[in-house]
Amino acid sequence: MINIFEVNETNEMIEKENLDVRTITLGISLIDCITDDLEKLTCNIYEKITTTARDLVAVGKDIEKEFGIPIVNKRISVTPIGLIGASACKSPDDFVRIAKTLDEAAAKVGVNFIGGYSALVAKGMTKAEEMLIRSIPKALSSTRLVCSSVNLGSTRTGINMDAVRLMGQIICDTAEATKESDSLGCAKLVVFCNAPDDNPFMAGAFHGVTEADAIINVGVSGPGVVNTVLKKVRGESFEVLCETIKKTAFKVTRVGQLVAGEASKRLNIPFGIVDLSLAPTPAIGDSVADILCEIGLEHAGAPGTTAALALLNDQVKKGGVMASSYVGGLSGAFIPVSEDQGMIDAVEAGSLTLEKLEAMTCVCSVGLDMIAIPGDTSASTISGIIADEMAIGMVNQKTTAVRLIPVIGKGVGEKAEFGGLLGYAPIMPVNRYSCEDFINRKGRIPAPIHSFKN
Amino acid sequence: MKKTIITVVGKDTVGIIAKVCTYLANNRINILDISQTIVQDYFNMMMIVDMNDSSKPFGDVSDELAQIGEEIGVVVRCQREDIFKSMHRV
């Protein structure tokens, strides 16, 4: 039987160490909504989302209450709109209409984000996908809850450099279109290499075409829990350190698995995956950078950071994988700058640079995330940063992503304020040498030799 | 049988258990196990209960217990046992 110490341990994690389930994300296929009439298409999409997700928020709240665990976000991901709108949309503005429909449907069911305003263009772009990409600045500046993502490359296909070049410009245009709110639109836009079909986390969540009609994916969190438990093993060997992280990750993930199972049962929608991620928030103590410090660094970014992060990421996976029947999504440690107070402190102390963050993305779960850069950074430089990150993902057969925010009207030393879960970010310097001639080359980078496994 | 864990944490005072137990009895909630400690004057109790015979919805029981806790100055929490079992039992 459960004893009082176990009960207290769990409740302390929830109350004092910010243990929560970060998101229940309901993936909805919109493939059966497709028609060549835009009016009909938007009606179908609205109907499908508001019917399938009708009870999502209420069920989430019931689970929170019964188990006493906060579920911070309830979200929806849909089939990439680049596919769904291909037949009906004749212009980028037609796609913006679908974005507005998604926004209305999300508001109606009470979720806080809807992802899937996306295009999968790892090898090439269809006309429709190019139109969707060109509509992103307007779509993100005229909606509140819509998140957008574009997959630009994969280990199997190589990198679509035409799309990388285009996305550099689109990020600049999105920043410009939302400059009144410190270019917040860019916080809802992410580019990927090897994007997973079942990611529950925003801004990159979409419901892949390999998925069922509807599915429940859950993202757990818990940097504060890992941090607290590591305080008890200061000075111990790597073996003790790793075992401690593993056991904690197991416990955290079990909660995610429980919540996923309950949500699936109550909504009568199949369970997809648990994403075992250490996802930080700006709350004090809920920081991945603080864990790196607890492992033994003065600040995130100091020599040893990449090794410490590699160790952390691997132990989180090893502990979590046994705790869940299906693991997927991004799974690992997230290292966003603006959403993690320890990362912000490291940047402000001069310890963490864009180049070190790039190295860290080789061993963490995703990539360059929520990084504010000067508003006058050129589109080709942004494309260059994206290309570097895509290359890391392609060669290392992992998911990588870029979510950069060129803050219009601000420069190094100033801050971008986003508010809420998105936090604030000190603007980081970017290498000023040009890569324009490289980015202006047409076509794609071929897939690496080790992708030919057949 | 789905079990529920009720925890009571707060400054020790007369009649904490009595008040909580009276509420449970009035709502046909059966107590299966009680354990209790006092750490530095802080009262810390855990009950394992069976709510199957209670006609009240879980949410109402949880809210009303929290309310009773507020009246005596302690925190009363009501959670399904599953969250602890999944975390602490393989």
Do residue A238 and residue A333 come from a single domain? yes
- Asked if residue A160 is part of any domain, the answer here is yes
Question: Of A193, A210, A228, which residue constitutes the final position of a domain?
Answer: A193
Per-residue pLDDT reduced to its tens digit, A222-246: 899 999 999 999 999 999 999 999 9
Do residue A149 and residue A277 come from a single domain? no
Highest mean pLDDT among A153-167, A408-422, B41-55: A153-167
- pLDDT-derived band of residue B41, with 50, 70 and 90 as boundaries? confident
Q: Provide mean pLDDT across the span B24-29.
A: 95
The pLDDT, as a whole number, for residue A420 is: 73
Q: How far is A386 from A382, CA to CA, in rounded Å?
A: 6
Do residue A94 and residue A174 come from a single domain? yes
Percentage of chain B exceeding pLDDT 70: 99
Q: Provide mean pLDDT across the span B20-33.
A: 94
| Phi-psi label, residue A370: left if phi above 0, alpha if psi -120 to 50, beta otherwise | left
Chain B positions touching A249 (Cβ under 8 A) are: none
Per-residue pLDDT reduced to its tens digit, A82-115: 999 999 999 999 999 999 999 999 999 999 999 9
Per-residue pLDDT reduced to its tens digit, A56-74: 999 999 999 999 999 999 9
Number of domains forming the structure of chain A: 2
- Asked if residue A414 is part of any domain, the answer here is yes
CB of B82 within 8 Å of a chain A CB? The answer is yes
Q: Residue A263: is its pLDDT beyond 90?
A: yes
Chain B positions touching A251 (Cβ under 8 A) are: 87-88
- Asked if residue A240 is part of any domain, the answer here is yes
Q: Residue B2: is its pLDDT beyond 70?
A: yes
Looking up tokens 């630009």, which residue turns up?
A: A152
- The overall average pLDDT reported for chain A is 95
Do residue A301 and residue A171 come from a single domain? no
Q: How far is A188 from A165, CA to CA, in rounded Å?
A: 19
ipTM: 0.91
The pLDDT, as a whole number, for residue A365 is: 80
- Asked if residue A449 is part of any domain, the answer here is no
Contact between residue A10 and residue A59 where contact means Cβ atoms under 8 Å apart: no
Percentage of chain A exceeding pLDDT 90: 90
Do residue A157 and residue A245 come from a single domain? no
Domains and CATH numbers, chain B: 3-88 (3.30.70.260)
- Asked if residue A209 is part of any domain, the answer here is no
Q: Kindly report the pTM of this predicted structure.
A: 0.94
Looking up tokens 């990449």, which residue turns up?
A: A306
CB of B1 within 8 Å of a chain A CB? The answer is no
Half-sphere exposure of A88 (CA within 13 A, CB side): 25
Chain B positions touching A257 (Cβ under 8 A) are: 86
CB of B44 within 8 Å of a chain A CB? The answer is yes
Percentage of chain B exceeding pLDDT 90: 76
Give the range of the structural domain holding residue A347, as residue numbers without chain letter. Answer: 218-443
B48·A10 Cβ contact <8 A: no
Residue A432, domain CATH: 3.20.70.20
Do residue A154 and residue A267 come from a single domain? no
List all residues 6 or more positions away from B30 whose beta carbon is below 8 Å from its beta carbon.
Answer: B24, B49, B50, B53
Q: Residue A422: is its pLDDT beyond 80?
A: no
Do residue A336 and residue A225 come from a single domain? yes
The pLDDT, as a whole number, for residue B1 is: 66
- Asked if residue A129 is part of any domain, the answer here is yes
Pick the range with the lowest mean pLDDT from A8-17, A229-238, A368-377: A8-17
Do residue A102 and residue A232 come from a single domain? no
Q: Residue A182: is its pLDDT beyond 80?
A: yes
- Asked if residue A109 is part of any domain, the answer here is yes
Interface of A with B (CB under 8 A): 1-4, 6-11, 62, 65-69, 251, 254-255, 257-258
- Asked if residue A453 is part of any domain, the answer here is no
Do residue A180 and residue A295 come from a single domain? no
Token reading at A354:
């864009």
Chain B positions touching A254 (Cβ under 8 A) are: 86-87
List all residues 6 or more positions away from A340 whose beta carbon is below 8 Å from its beta carbon.
Answer: A280, A281, A282, A287, A288, A289, A423
Do residue A167 and residue A64 come from a single domain? yes
Chain A positions touching B58 (Cβ under 8 A) are: 65-66
The pLDDT, as a whole number, for residue A297 is: 97
Do residue A86 and residue A169 come from a single domain? yes
Do residue A253 and residue A129 come from a single domain? no
CB of B50 within 8 Å of a chain A CB? The answer is no
Per-residue pLDDT reduced to its tens digit, A311-346: 999 999 999 999 999 999 888 889 999 989 999 999
